[in-house]
Structure 1
Amino acid sequence: MNEQDNKTDRQETGFSETEIRFIQTHLKENPGQLILRAGQFKDLDIKKLASQILSRQKAVKKLPEWSANEKLIFPPALSVEQCSSEATARYKASLVSGNRLMDITGGMGVDCFYMSRKFEQAIYFEQQEEVAKTAKYNFKELGSGNITVHNADSLLTLAKETMPSDWIFADPARRNTNREKVVLLSDCTPDITANLSALFENAPNILLKTSPLLDIDLASKELTNLAEVHVIGYEQECKELLFVLKKDYITENFVIKTRIINAAGEVVHSLDFDRESERKALVSYSNPLGYLYEPHPAVLKAGAFRTLCETFDTSKLAVNSQLYTSENYIPDFPGRSFKIVAVCRPDMREISGYIQGDKANLTIRNFPGKTEDLRKKWKLKEGGDFYLFATTLADHSKVVIVTTKP
C-alpha cells in the first residue's frame, strides 16, 4: 500500500488497515513497552496506536460492544474510565423513549448511542470539534443512522431556535474552569439549574446524569420539577445518580429509586422510597441472628437505612453500623448476604478458632481503626471462604462477626 492509498484508507475508516491490524495484534501488550520499541515499527505512529490500545484495554469490560468493533476510535484512556459503562447506558435507555432525543452535552457518546435506539431520531451536541467528529464517525460504524451530530454549543443553539424533543439528556462536566471538582449542580458546566426553563421549552422530560458523589438532597433543592432520583449500583459500586425532571411535575416530593443492575443493564435489585417514608419507617435493633447483610453502596448512598428494616424484615445491629441481621435467610436483600458462624471479641485467638487458618476477608463498619492496621495486628491474610465484620453493636460493644457465604 502506497502513501496515498494509506491516506485514503485512513480517511474512510479512521485508521488504515495496517493500523487496525497493529492494534488488534498488540491488544494485550503493554502500551508503554510498545512505545519504547517504536523504532521497530516503520511508518507507524506508535504513540497514537499505543494510546488506542490502552483505551481499548480499559474498554474491554466496560464497553464490550464498542471494544468488539475494530474500526472505532477511542478517546484517551482517562476519558474511557470516566464515560458511562454499557451497563449503565442500557439502563438509561430503559427509562426513555419517543420520537426525538436531544443530548446536549455530547462527549464520547455512549449514553446517546444506547438511548437513541429508543427514538426515531437523536440530536447530539458537542462543542469540541475533534470529539464531535470522532463521535460522528463512531456512530456511523456502529450503525446508528438516526443520530445527527452538531459541533456547537447546545444552549446557544437552543436560544436561537427550538428543537421539539421528547427527552433531553445532560451529563454536565463536574469541574469548573480551573479543573477543580465541584459539589453543586449550579457549578457544573453547563449549569442545568439556570437553564431549566429554556430546556423545558424544547422537551417535557429531562434526564440529568451526575456523579454518585453529589448530595441528593442538596441537588433536589437546586432543581424544580424533580420527579425521580435513580441511584445506580453496578457490581460493588454506586456508579451514578440520575435525576428525572418532568415539566408537568410541580410537587416537591420525589421518589428515590435504587437500582442495582447487571452487565446487560437489567435490574436485579430495586428499592423505592421517599424521604418521608424513610423517616416514618419502623426500625428495630438486634444482636447478630442467623444471617448478616451488608447493603449495596447504592442503597447506602440513597439513604434507605430505616426502609431496609421495614421492607426486608431485618434488624439493624446499631444506629451507625449499617449492618443488618435476620433469623431466616432473605435472598433478595439488596447487597451482600452472609451466614453467621460466630460472634467473637476482637481477639485473634478467639477468631482463629473459627476461620481455620490465617486467611479471611475483613470489613470494618463503625469500628475503631483501619482495615490494613487490623490485618497487620492480627497477621491476617486477604482471601479465603470466611468474611469477618468488625463492628459495634447497639449496646456499644465491639465485636467481630465471623461469616461465610450463605
Structure 2
Amino acid sequence: MTATAPITQDVLTIRRTPPQEGKTNLIGLTRSQLAEALRAIGTPERQVKMRLGQVWQWLYHWGVRDFAAMTNLAKDYRALLEDHFTIDLPQVVSRQASADGTRKYLLRIAGGHEVETVYIPEENRGTLCVSSQVGCTLTCSFCHTGTQKLVRNLTAAEIVGQLMVARDDLGEWPVQGAPKNETRLVSNLVLMGMGEPLYNFENVRDAMQVVMDNEGLTLSRRRITLSTSGVVPEIARTAQEIGCLLAVSFHATTDAVRDKLVPINKRWNIAALLDALREYPRLSNSERITFEYVMLKGVNDSDADARRLVKLIAGIPAKINLIPFNEWPGAPYVRSDWARIEAFADIIHKAGYASPIRTPRGEDIMAACGQLKSETERARKSRAQIAAEVAGGAGG
C-alpha cells in the first residue's frame, strides 16, 4: 500500500454464534485442559492422546470452526463434540486499514465489551499487537488506553482469538491439498495492546502455550514479546512459565518523573524493577530486554535523561526502543522534536546500546502505540482534566 493510499474502514459481516449455555469453548484451552475436556465427555483413555492431536490440528493448523469438517474423526464422535463444545472467536465489529498498511480490528467479546487488535506489516515480518484486558488499571498518563477504566481481564480464548481473527482476515490458514507455503504474514506477536499482561498472568500464560505449540499456530517464544509496565513480582514467573522476550515500559530515569508517567512506579520503583530485570535473561534464556521509552517534549528527553538511562541499565543486555509520542485527543503531552530524539538516541548508541527510533504506524486510524481504546469507551476527556489527574498522581 502506498503512502497516499486512502484510509478505509470496513464494517464486516462476520458473526460468531454466541456460545450455547453449558457448552465449553475449545479455543484457548491448553493441551492438558483440552485432554481433560475430552475425557470428561467420555473419550476412552487409550484414545485421548490421538483425539487431542486431531482436534488440536483442526483448530490451530487448519483453522476449522465446524466440527462436521473434522473429517478424520468418526461421525458419532463429531456429533459428541458438537453436543458439548463450541468453537468461538471474538466478533469483528470493524476493520480499519491505514495508509501505511496497518490494520486495526475492533473486536466484541462476551458481555458486549470491545478491545482493539493491530496488525503491522513490515518488509520482512508481520507483527500482531494483541490486548490482554478490556481497558487498563494503570492510568499511565501518556497512554490513551489508560484513560479507560479496567473492565475485566480477557480469557485465554479471547487472547488466542485475536490471532485467529487476524489470520482469518489475512487469509493465512493453509488450504488442504495445496502446496505448503512457509510465508508467515503474522510472524511476530506482541502483548502490547490494551491492558497490563502481568495483571492477567494465568490467562496470558495459557494463551501463549496455545500460540507457541509447534503443532498448531507455531509462533516460537523468540517471536513473542510481552510488554509490562513493571509488575515486579510476576517478572520472574514470566521467565519461568512463558519464557518469551520481555519489553518494559520504562519512559523515565527518575522516580519523580516515572511516578507521574507510569504510576505503578509508586508501588515498585525503578530500583526494584531493575533488580528483577537483571535476572530475567538468565531465567528465561533470553538474549536481551527491550526498554520502551516514549519521547515527551520537555519531560524526559534531555541529554541528562539519556546519560542517566545508560547508567541505570548498565549490566543488563538491552536495547532501547525510542517511541515518538503518538498524540491523541486531550493528551497532556507533546512529541519531542525530531532533532532532540536523534540526539538522545546518539548518546545511547555511543554507550553501546541499540537505540532504534520506532516509526509511528497507523496514526491516521488511532492504531499507534499508546492510542488504543475501545470505541464504546472513547469518551474524550479534556486536556485540562487529564493534566489535573496527572498532577494529582492518579494511582495505578
The two structures have a TM-score, normalised by structure 1, of 0.29
Give the number of the structure whose residues are more often strand, by fraction: 1
Rg comparison, structure with higher value: 1
The two structures have a TM-score, normalised by structure 2, of 0.30
Higher relative contact order (CA 8 A, sep 6+): 2
